Amino acid sequence: MDRNKICKWLKNPGKMAHKYSFHVVYFCTGCGIIEIPPFITARWDAERFGIIPVATPRQASLFLITGYVSTKTLKAIIRTYEQMPEPKYTVALGSCPINGGMYYDSYNTITSLDKYIPVDGYIAGCMPRPEAIFIGVTHLWKLIDMDKADGYQRYREDYVHYRANQEQLYGKMDWPPLFSEENI
Amino acid sequence: MQISEIILSSLLALIIGIFFLGLARKIMARIHWRYGPPITQPVIDIIRMFSQKGISHGSIFNFGLIFSLTGSFVVILFLPFGKMCPLSSGGLLVILYLMLLAPLGIALSSGEAANPNSSIGVSRKFLLALGYEVPLLLILLAVMTHYHTISLIEIVRIQANTGWSFGSLPLVLSGIAYFLILPAILGIRPFEISGAAQEISSGPKVEFGGKFLAFSTIQHALHEFIGISLFVNLFLGGWDLFGILEPISNTVWGIILGIIIFLIKMVIIFVIEIFINAVFPRFRIEQAMKYLWKWPTLLSFIGLLIVVLFN
């Protein structure tokens, strides 16, 4: 640990701890989930970066969406995202969540994930290799340092907009809004 | 003097417990041929959890967690830490009572969360507690009968004069039985039944987030400290190391060296437990009960019989 880091730790321990301890919920959609087991096990060892998988969204701080998002799984993604405690970060893998990828004209697949939940960063590729996930994580560190990984704040501020997009897709949704007028 | 001992021993127990969590992750990583996280990783995790916004599920949810944390801290005050023991009245019987407070608090808290996974986890936790409490009771009975005292400080002092009870003939079976149930007390891998992440989404902890998860992690660390330090005090002679502290036993250096020897013994036992954790798969709950009520209970019962016959 260099001296620079110690100053940062003393200045803002919460932010530094957010950088170096990601508890991750992997959402197994599509082909990206195949890249995750080598990423967390002995071949590439994500734990040396402080990244470990957890079983429930309540304990998590990073949400990895690994691949295309169909209309049906988007519902589960929204619920999982809303259950995570703030601050929370979302990273989407592959080209499918960016613009649909090879499913760009599918009737059943979301073309742009960012319309429904805020995404802090994309890792492009079809599929990105495990090294690319490490590069994505180090970019996320930089974003957290510059306070630019503010997806959870955007979700809070523009909740009406996001909820409208979700309701446009599903009609009436069977759970109440996360933020009402007074706690935004 | 006593107040400073209370603060010092609970603080040391907290630090050692969290250090154990980090050590466990590092050793597991090295066994997997990975580099592993830095040893301070649990501290970073706990800082992050405290800075996250946890969601409470009601007043019992908060109360149960505080209850279990308090229970763990109180047990630590009754355990001799080297030569330091803040509270001593009641001895082993009080420890036996208070050791159940921690799972009880977690159960209250998780029951309030109303998640099916957490209720399964709680029921498994209590079944497991029932499994290891029977041999633990027999072991403690054997130790108390052998030394004619219920005071843990007295037991450690007698061991310093007459040799460790793990090496003495009447108590060796009880010692082996305690070592066999130690993974169940710590909740590590052959008996990682209640907190199984892949099976029931980490069991009782499933609804804990933010600061609640941080408190639950601290409670887990304290619980590991309690299980191992009870073993070291009962069977490995506490602060004693073949009488080398005899000439300086009443000085400050004697007390500090006693604590260091005690901690080294704890680390050795913990590393052995981590090796067991690394190589064994997880039992199902009925397999665990069958195991716990068969071999450790049999051994501890024979140990009790031997102690009664010898005396």
The alpha-helical segments, DSSP class H, found in chain A are 3-11, 13-20, 36-40, 71-83, 96-99, 130-145, 151-157, 159-170
- φ/ψ region of B280 (left if φ > 0, alpha if ψ in -120 to 50, else beta) reads beta
| pLDDT band of B272, cuts 50, 70, 90 | very high
Judged against a pLDDT cut of 70, whether residue B214 lies above it is answered with: yes
Judged against a pLDDT cut of 90, whether residue B268 lies above it is answered with: yes
| pLDDT band of A183, cuts 50, 70, 90 | low
User: How many CB pairs below 8 Å do chains A and B form together?
Assistant: 84
pLDDT tens-digit profile of B172-196? 888 899 999 999 988 888 888 887 8
- Please name the member of A50, A54, A87 whose beta carbon is closest to the beta carbon of B41: A50
pLDDT tens-digit profile of B134-184? 999 999 999 888 888 888 888 888 888 887 887 788 888 888 999 999 999
**Largest CA-CA distance found in chain B, in angstroms, rounded:** 59
Q: Stretch B245-261: mean pLDDT, rounded?
A: 80
Output the CA angle A130-A136-A137, nearest 5 degrees: 95
Judged against a pLDDT cut of 80, whether residue B82 lies above it is answered with: no
d(CA B139, CA B271): 23
Name the residue with higher pLDDT: B304 or B87.
B304
Structure confidence at residue B164 (pLDDT): 82
What is the C-alpha end-to-end distance of chain B, expressed in Å? 39
pLDDT tens-digit profile of B103-131? 888 888 888 888 888 888 888 888 888 88
A177 touches chain B (CB under 8 A): no
ipTM: 0.87
Contact A17 B213 (CB under 8 A): no
Residue ranges of E strands in chain B: none
Helix, strand, coil in percent for chain B, rounding step 5:
75, 0, 25
Per the structure block, which two tokens stand in for A4? 């620079």
Contact B202 A59 (CB under 8 A): yes
Contact B207 A61 (CB under 8 A): no
Structure confidence at residue B27 (pLDDT): 92
Q: Stretch A69-91: mean pLDDT, rounded?
A: 89
Contact A47 B48 (CB under 8 A): no
d(CA A58, CA A68): 24
Output the CA angle A162-A165-A170, nearest 5 degrees: 125
Structure confidence at residue B88 (pLDDT): 76
Judged against a pLDDT cut of 60, whether residue A184 lies above it is answered with: no
Mean model confidence pLDDT for chain A: 86
Structure confidence at residue B80 (pLDDT): 86
d(CA B118, CA B113): 8
Q: Which residues of A touch B44 (CB under 8 A)?
A: 16-17, 20-21, 50
Q: Stretch B211-235: mean pLDDT, rounded?
A: 90
Q: Phi and psi dihedrals of B164, rounded to 5? A: -60, 145
Q: Phi and psi dihedrals of A90, rounded to 5? A: -125, 135
Contact B41 A21 (CB under 8 A): yes
Nearest CA in chain A to B204: A56
pLDDT tens-digit profile of A4-63? 788 888 888 888 888 888 899 988 877 878 888 888 888 888 888 889 888 888 889 999
Q: Which of A40, A59, A88 to mutate to test the interface with B (most CBs of B within 10 A)?
A: A59
Structure confidence at residue B208 (pLDDT): 87
d(CA A41, CA B239): 40
Name the residue with higher pLDDT: B114 or A143.
A143
Nearest to A96 by CA among A63, A119, A127: A127
Q: What percent of chain A has pLDDT over 90?
A: 7
Mean model confidence pLDDT for chain B: 87
Residue A109, beta-bridge partner list: A70
Judged against a pLDDT cut of 90, whether residue A175 lies above it is answered with: no
Structure confidence at residue A1 (pLDDT): 61
Q: Would you say B95 and B78 are in contact if contact means Cβ atoms under 8 Å apart?
A: yes
pLDDT tens-digit profile of A83-109? 888 889 999 888 888 888 888 888 888
Contact A17 B41 (CB under 8 A): no
B209 touches chain A (CB under 8 A): yes
Contact A56 B35 (CB under 8 A): no
Judged against a pLDDT cut of 80, whether residue B244 lies above it is answered with: no
Contact B51 A18 (CB under 8 A): yes
In A141-172, which positions are buried (b, 16+ CB within 10 angstroms) versus exposed (e)? bebbeeeebbbbebbbeeeeebbeebeeeeee
Least Cα separation, residue B102 to chain A (angstroms): 21
| pLDDT band of B55, cuts 50, 70, 90 | confident
d(CA A182, CA B288): 51
Structure confidence at residue B204 (pLDDT): 86
